[in-house]
Amino acid sequence: MIELKRDILSVLDMKDDFEQILNEALKMKSGQKKTQKKDPLKGKVLGMVFEKPSLRTRMSFEVGMTQLGGSAIYISPNEVQIGKRESVSDVANVLSRYVDVIMYRAFSNQVMRELAKHASVPVINGLDDMEHPCQCAADLLTVLEKKKALKGLQMVYVGDGNNVCNSLLLGCALVGMNMRAATPKSHRPDKDIVTKAEEIAKNTGAKIELMSNPFHACDGADVVYTDTWISMGQEAEKAEREALFLPYQVNDKLTEKANKDWLFLHCLPAHRDMEVSTAVIDGPHSVVFDQAENRMHAQKAILLAALSK
């Protein structure tokens, strides 16, 4: 009998237990969760493959795996060069002989899926050009922690309709949270993901909206979220992107019609006085460092879900 493995490459790979994963993460963070045995991942090894460097991804996965009793090995961009020094399938097969689970932080969703196809151990998406599912779990964990519930809240994403925005659309739809994505028309989120989010939302009662006016989007917001305008690999577009996205800066004026107790989220690293004003990110509505910490708690729950038998 072939033993099936659980890959978590998309938020959709958690569609059947997403809220359970969030609640497990919250319980572990608060100390309420008593695992059936101490060190549930004792003896397990996580291989962390990075094509893009990240402070939060490396630290949260490595510390989280250690807290669960396992160990983690960091593989830098220069050590593998997937598809260049070695084929994707060869890397997947070799890593599967050494580790129990792979976290891959990649440039390409296509390569992410190819690696998962050839790996015999679970693969977790640490980021690619289509989605950022672990970030989405941490984001909604943060909102759940602060607001005590998710269903019916209004999430507003402002800026570039990128991988973070894509995953948020799916995550919000799954938990019944309304989401508006305010982006330039030229930088809307992925059409297929929007369609999937809308289909899910029909069953959960969530409302998915795309728009270009960020002021209209922030009216009545419970959560306002933004991300960097210039991701790794887009440096040549810096001047063009800054000019295009300047009207989407999250500042006091943009958020003046948000609900009184609105939260500000940013996946970091942030560029103060670019996509967000210093007053907002360092202000009373900002929970970005709780959000950063929650990467670890969410990923611990994801690791347990991926490795549970």
Catalytic residue positions, numbered:
105, 132, 135, 227, 267, 295
* DSSP per residue, the chain: -PPP---B-SGGGGTTTHHHHHHHHHHHHHT----SSSSTTTT-EEEEEESS--HHHHHHHHHHHHHTT-EEEEE-HHHH-BTTTB-HHHHHHHHHHH-SEEEEE-S-HHHHHHHHHH-SS-EEEEE-SS--HHHHHHHHHHHHHHHS--TT-EEEEES---HHHHHHHHHHHHHT-EEEEE--GGGPPPHHHHHHHHHHHHHHT--EEEES-HHHHHTT-SEEEE--SS-TT-GGGHHHHHHHHGGG-B-TTTTTTS-TT-EEEE-S---BTTTB-HHHHTSTTB-HHHHHHHHHHHHHHHHHHHH--
